[in-house]
Amino acid sequence: MRPDALSANDPARALSRFTGEFRDAALEDDFRRDQYAEILRQSKFLFGLGLLVSLVLAGVNALLADQELVPLALAARSVAFAASLACLLVVGHVAKSLVEPLLVVWQVVITLAAATLIFVQQNVDAVSVLMLPAAFYLAVPTRFRVAVITNGVASLVMMGSYTAYAGATETTLRTGVALIVLTGLLAALRGRSGRDLRIAWATARSRAEALAELAQSRKLIERIFEAVPIPLVVVSTASGRIRRANKAAGLFLHGSTGGLVGCRAADLHEDPGDGSALLASLAREGAVRDFPTRVHAADGSVRSVLVSANVVDKSAADMQVVSSVFDITGRLQQEEKLRKAEAEYRALFENAVVGVYRTTPDGRMLRANPALVRLNGYSSEAELVTAVNDIASEWYVEPQRREEWARLMGRTGRVIDFVSEVYRHKTRERIWVSENGWTVWDENGEPAYFEGTLIDITERMRAEKQNAYFASHDPLTNLPNRRHFMERLEQALAQRKRKGGWLAVMYLDLDRFKPVNDTFGHAAGDLLLADVARRLKSVCRSEDVVARIGGDEFTILSTSADEPDGSLGLAERILAAFVEPFSLDGSRALVGASIGIAFAPYDGVSPDELLRKADQALYAAKSAGRNTVRTFNPDFGRHAGESGADRAAG
């Protein structure tokens, strides 16, 4: 239960039946914080009383006690005196949370001092044993459980000291029983008094909160009355004069709120008879809704308005009427504009170059403009509307697209740039269109029909498809480019992580390609690169990814080999494919290749790491004499670090 969950009607529900404290720790903390001043006052009183009693009893001990016991008695009294004095001096300066521990320490010191005096045959009657725990229970303002523990300890200490002095006699036993009974009664009394105190506190707090909330509500109502942008006035039916007006009313009807108060309400009407008719309706009905009239505005114009009014208290002799004034001059002008706009809309509907439609929620065509009629291969709107019975199955290439369109429309009431492949309804030619649609609702909040526009975007879709292809492929070789290769490599690594297996990345660089460019020209070099791409694709498997990543550099992603030897075999077949010279417009060029290979997961698990290590292996292949294969990890070769040519020679 949070502090704000305390019921003002029944605060006792939040209290423990035994301790009388709040069950909610936060609420109990709030109570003790509110009671801190009283707790501090009681603490100072106790410390001062302890100081005074210790001083008086020290004097009595010095005069009346056995002279042999006086030093010990005075020492015990001095300790109690010092503890009381120290606590009195510091209690007002420590943190609130330390007051209770300070009280506990003081109780312990006083208890030990009293027990010492009993043990040395001072204050040896049973009343002395009972008095101190009782005083602690009744006067020390600690929490209930703290009071139970400290007073229990005090009772044990006092009873122990008394027993040590008097011995285990019948009197001692009766004193112990009396102490137990007294402790129980005092605990119940303390719980009850704490409960009553907290109920009173909770009730007062709830009342204060209610009053504060009421005051806030009144302020809020006042602020709302002033802040409402609609003119509001309060009129006395007895005098017919305005008693109150908000800012909007003052600005609209007079120019200022203060000048409007006290004016006769009837004087605001262009026709005074409207004011009389309004009051007569109020007398009969007690409320008026949308009473049409014309009033004088602050700027000198006459405005058309609708007045709604309610009688606040019909039983009062001087009834107060709250009236709201809605200026509809602009609305009337707008209606005229709408009539003109409707004519303009019809002209746009008939002459728009984009398709405009209206359909039922279940997929029947209701209206279609000439552009949409022509798009579907018909000559008239009536012909198209008659022909289309089910838009989902007759118009969309994928009928579920209509379901998706309806789902989006149902969720937001509007669809923007909804792209689909559709049929020209009459010719069944497939085209792409983009739709913008919206829902028109009926008076019950249900979809009455859908309206929208569409345009033919077939050429746009073709261009986007072509642009997407060239964004991911090398235009010279039609191979994937570096970005596409890295995406495919990342996908393959993710699949390998789930399913296991090998994955090889080959980095290939052409040998003797620069002389071809220098000798035959860049055009011949481009022909050679295209032929290299064809040879690589003919050697590799269909599931392998062959890419050109720049210049005369190519990469191959092989995911089909079960072990490194399979990828090494593919690399050897690639080298063999370069044995045949390349034809370049009547000339022939002999170009070789060097290949570096890195394996996942052993050489790396990220695309960049594998490509980098394959490049390092390629560098080793170049350094070994070109037209060779090197793996990044030599242990994966049939003979560690041996080139394909070397293995063939072996």
Alpha helices in 65-125 (DSSP H): 70-90, 99-119
User: Which among 175-184, 269-278, 507-516, 564-573 has the top mean pLDDT?
Assistant: 507-516
Between 222 and 561, the higher pLDDT residue: 222
pLDDT tens by residue, 485-506: 999 999 999 998 888 888 999 9
- What pLDDT is stored for residue 600 in this prediction? 92
Q: Are 618 and 612 in contact (CB under 8 A)?
A: no
- What pLDDT is stored for residue 641 in this prediction? 38
Mean pLDDT score, 156-162: 78
Helices 170-227 and 25-34 cross at an angle (nearest 10°) of: 90
Between 578 and 134, the higher pLDDT residue: 578
For residue 313, pLDDT over 70 is answered with: no
Q: Model pTM?
A: 0.41
Amino acid at 521: G
3-state helix, strand, coil in the chain (%, to 5): 55, 20, 25
The residue from 274, 474, 509, 552 that is catalytic is: 552
Least confident of 319-328, 395-404, 447-456: 319-328
Q: Give residue 604's Cα distance to chain centre.
A: 39
Structure confidence at residue 61 as a pLDDT band (50, 70, 90): low
Pick the CATH number of 474-649 from 2.70.70.10, 3.30.70.270, 3.10.450.50, 3.30.70.3270: 3.30.70.270
CA distances for 523 relative to 476, 510, 554, angstroms: 11, 17, 19
Cα end-to-end span (Å), the chain = 86
Between 470 and 480, the higher pLDDT residue: 480
Q: Are 254 and 298 in contact (CB under 8 A)?
A: yes
Convert 68-85 to b/e letters by CB count within 10 Å (16 or more is b).
Answer: eebebbbebbebbbebbb
Where are the extended beta strands (E) located within 63-203? none
145-149 contacts, C-beta under 8 A, 24 or more apart: 145/19, 146/100, 146/104, 147/187, 147/190, 148/187
Q: Are 94 and 36 in contact (CB under 8 A)?
A: no
* H or E stretch covering 243: strand 242-245
Structure confidence at residue 311 as a pLDDT band (50, 70, 90): confident
Burial (Cβ within 10 Å: 0-12, 13-18, ≥19) of residue 343: exposed
Angstrom distance (rounded) from CA 136 to CA 111 = 10
Pinpoint the residues of the chain covered by CATH 3.30.450.20: 228-332, 358-461
Would you say the C-alpha torsion 399, 403, 409, 415 has a positive or negative sign? Answer: negative
- At residue 308, the 3 state secondary structure works out as strand
- What pLDDT is stored for residue 411 in this prediction? 87
How does the average pLDDT of the chain come out, rounded? 82
User: Which among 231-235, 257-261, 318-322 has the top mean pLDDT?
Assistant: 231-235
Specify the CATH superfamily of domain 228-332. Answer: PAS domain (3.30.450.20)
- What pLDDT is stored for residue 163 in this prediction? 78
Angstrom distance (rounded) from CA 418 to CA 472 = 25
- What pLDDT is stored for residue 191 in this prediction? 73
Q: Which of 112, 163, 111 is nearest to 133 (CA)?
A: 111
Alpha helices in 228-328 (DSSP H): 247-253, 257-260, 272-285
Between 538 and 103, the higher pLDDT residue: 538
Least confident of 209-218, 508-517, 547-556: 209-218
SS (H, E, C) 320-384: EEEEEEEECHHHHHHHHHHHHHHHHHHHHHHHCCCEEEEECCCCCEEEECHHHHHHCCCCCHHHH
For 211, other C-beta atoms within 10 Å of its C-beta total: 10
Structure confidence at residue 215 as a pLDDT band (50, 70, 90): confident
Mean pLDDT score, 153-162: 78
Structure confidence at residue 611 as a pLDDT band (50, 70, 90): very high
- What pLDDT is stored for residue 580 in this prediction? 92
- What would the two tokens of residue 358 be? 């209206």
User: Which among 38-42, 169-173, 441-445, 613-617 has the top mean pLDDT?
Assistant: 613-617
Mean pLDDT score, 539-556: 93
Residues in the chain: 650
217-222 contacts, C-beta under 8 A, 24 or more apart: none
Does residue 635 carry a catalytic annotation? no
For residue 640, pLDDT over 50 is answered with: no
Q: Give residue 399's Cα distance to chain centre.
A: 37
Amino acid at 67: Q
Cis peptide before 601, with omega less than 30 degrees from 0? yes
CA distances for 419 relative to 162, 437, 454, 457, angstroms: 98, 12, 9, 9
Q: Are 329 and 306 in contact (CB under 8 A)?
A: no
- What pLDDT is stored for residue 537 in this prediction? 94
Least confident of 2-6, 63-67, 218-222, 556-560: 2-6
pLDDT tens by residue, 620-632: 999 998 899 999 9
Residues whose CB is less than 8 angstroms from the CB of residue 44 and which lie 6 or more positions away in sequence, other chains included: 88, 91, 92
Angstrom distance (rounded) from CA 291 to CA 327 = 12
Pinpoint the residues of the chain covered by CATH 3.30.70.270: 474-649
- What pLDDT is stored for residue 69 in this prediction? 60
For residue 210, pLDDT over 70 is answered with: yes
Mean pLDDT score, 331-357: 79
- What pLDDT is stored for residue 127 in this prediction? 63
Angstrom distance (rounded) from CA 420 to CA 398 = 8
Give the CATH fold of the 358-461 domain: Beta-Lactamase (3.30.450)
Residue 640: DSSP 8-state: T
Quote the percentage of the chain above a pLDDT of 90. Answer: 24
- At residue 432, the 3 state secondary structure works out as strand
- What pLDDT is stored for residue 489 in this prediction? 95
- Give the CA-trace dihedral at 559, 561, 562, 565, to 10 degrees: -140
